[in-house]
Amino acid sequence: MSLGAVDLPYFSENGFRRAQCSATGLWFWSRDAARKTCGDSQEDEYTFIGSPLISGFSETGSALKDKMRETFLNFFEQQGHTRVEPYPILARWRDDIHLTIASIAVFQPHVTSGLVPPPANPLTISQPCIRLTDVDAVGASGRHLTTFEMMAHHVFNRPKDGEVHYWMNECVEFCDRLFTAALGIDANEITYVENPWSGGGNAGAAVEVIVGGLELATLVFMNLQEDEDGDVEIKGIKYSEMDLQIIDTGYGLERFCWAAAGTPTIYEAIYPESVSWLKELTGFSQILEGTDINLDELLGQMSRLLALRKVLITRLAERGVEIDEQTLLSVSQPLSRIYAIPDHMHALCNMLGDGLVPSNAKAGYLARMLIRRVLRMRDELGLNVSLSDLAEHHLQFNFEVSRMKQTTAGFLQILQLEEERYNIMLRKGENVVKGMLKSLPLDAVEIPDEILFTLNDTHGMAPALVIGIAKSSGWSNVSLRSGFAAELAQRHASQAKQAAKSTSKKRGLPELPPTKKLYYDDVWMTNHNAEVLHCSKEGDDWLVVLNQTCLYPEGGGQACDLGSINGIEVVNVQIENDIIIHTISNSLDVGTQVSVELSIDRRRQLMDHHTAVHIVGGAARTLLGPHVYQAGANKNTDSARLDITHHSRLSRNDLDEIEKLSNQVLQEIKTTEKMELPRAQADKEFGFDLYQGGAPKGGDVRILKIGEHDVQACGGTHHDEPA
What torsion, rounded to 10 degrees, do the Cα atoms 114, 120, 125, 130 define? Answer: -30
User: Which CB, 250 or 716, lies closer to Zn ion?
Assistant: 716
CB of 697 to Zn ion, least distance (A): 15
CA angle in degrees (0–180, nearest 5) for 406-411-414: 125
Structural contact between residues 607 and 636, judged by C-beta atoms closer than 8 angstroms:
no
- Helix ranges restricted to H, 522-635: 600-624
Bridge pairing between strands 640-644 and 673-678: unpaired
Three-state secondary structure of 639-651:
CEEEEECCCCCCC
What b-and-e string marks burial along 471-497, b requiring 16 or more CB atoms within 10 Å of the CB? eeeebeebebeeebbbbbbeebbeebe
CB of 714 to Zn ion, least distance (A): 3
362: left (phi over 0), alpha (psi -120 to 50) or beta: left
CB of 61 to Zn ion, least distance (A): 45
User: Which CB, 410 or 716, lies closer to Zn ion?
Assistant: 716
Q: Which residues make Cβ contacts (< 8 Å) with residue 480, sequence separation at least 6? A: 463, 464, 467
CB of 52 to Zn ion, least distance (A): 55
User: Which CB, 60 or 672, lies closer to Zn ion?
Assistant: 672
* Amino acid letter, 501: K
CB of 376 to Zn ion, least distance (A): 42
User: Which CB, 37 or 611, lies closer to Zn ion?
Assistant: 611
Measured in whole angstroms, how far is the alpha carbon of residue 619 from the centre of its chain?
28
User: Which CB, 65 or 718, lies closer to Zn ion?
Assistant: 718
CB of 573 to Zn ion, least distance (A): 17
User: Which CB, 334 or 557, lies closer to Zn ion?
Assistant: 557
CB of 602 to Zn ion, least distance (A): 17
Residue count (the chain): 723
Q: Report how far residue 108's alpha carbon sits from residue 221's, in angstroms, rounded to the nearest whole number.
A: 15
CB of 691 to Zn ion, least distance (A): 12
Number of other CB atoms surrounding residue 216 within 10 Å = 24
Could you tell me the CA-to-CA distances from 557 to 567, 615, 671 in Å, in that order? 28, 16, 23
Could you tell me the CA-to-CA distances from 551 to 55, 314, 590, 634 in Å, in that order? 66, 76, 19, 18
Query: What is the chain's percent helix, strand, coil content, to nearest 5?
Result: 40, 20, 35
User: Which CB, 94 or 635, lies closer to Zn ion?
Assistant: 635
Bridge pairing between strands 82-83 and 123-130: parallel
What b-and-e string marks burial along 675-689, b requiring 16 or more CB atoms within 10 Å of the CB? eebebbebbeebebb
Structural contact between residues 389 and 278, judged by C-beta atoms closer than 8 angstroms:
no
DSSP-derived 3-state class of residue 588: coil
CB of 618 to Zn ion, least distance (A): 11
User: Which CB, 19 or 523, lies closer to Zn ion?
Assistant: 523
* Burial (CB count within 10 angstroms: exposed 0-12, middle 13-18, buried 19+), residue 653: exposed
User: Which CB, 173 or 710, lies closer to Zn ion?
Assistant: 710
Residue 538 parent element (H or E): strand 527-538
User: Which CB, 318 or 721, lies closer to Zn ion?
Assistant: 721
User: Which CB, 437 or 714, lies closer to Zn ion?
Assistant: 714
Of 487, 456, 483, residue with least CA distance to 469:
456
Q: Report how far residue 433's alpha carbon sits from residue 452's, in angstroms, rounded to the nearest whole number.
A: 10
DSSP-derived 3-state class of residue 349: helix
Number of other CB atoms surrounding residue 316 within 10 Å = 19
CB of 493 to Zn ion, least distance (A): 29
CB of 519 to Zn ion, least distance (A): 12
Structural contact between residues 360 and 457, judged by C-beta atoms closer than 8 angstroms:
yes
User: Which CB, 175 or 706, lies closer to Zn ion?
Assistant: 706
Give residues in contact with Zn ion (CB under 5 A). Answer: 714, 716
User: Which CB, 105 or 714, lies closer to Zn ion?
Assistant: 714
Structural contact between residues 138 and 340, judged by C-beta atoms closer than 8 angstroms:
yes
DSSP-derived 3-state class of residue 256: helix
User: Which CB, 642 or 714, lies closer to Zn ion?
Assistant: 714
CB of 93 to Zn ion, least distance (A): 18
CB of 685 to Zn ion, least distance (A): 18
User: Which CB, 256 or 519, lies closer to Zn ion?
Assistant: 519
CB of 665 to Zn ion, least distance (A): 15
User: Which CB, 646 or 705, lies closer to Zn ion?
Assistant: 705
For the chain, give the longest Cα–Cα distance. Answer: 95
CB of 674 to Zn ion, least distance (A): 10
Question: Which residue lies nearest Zn ion, judged by its C-beta?
Answer: 714
Of 668, 679, 670, 669, residue with least CA distance to 703:
679
CB of 610 to Zn ion, least distance (A): 5
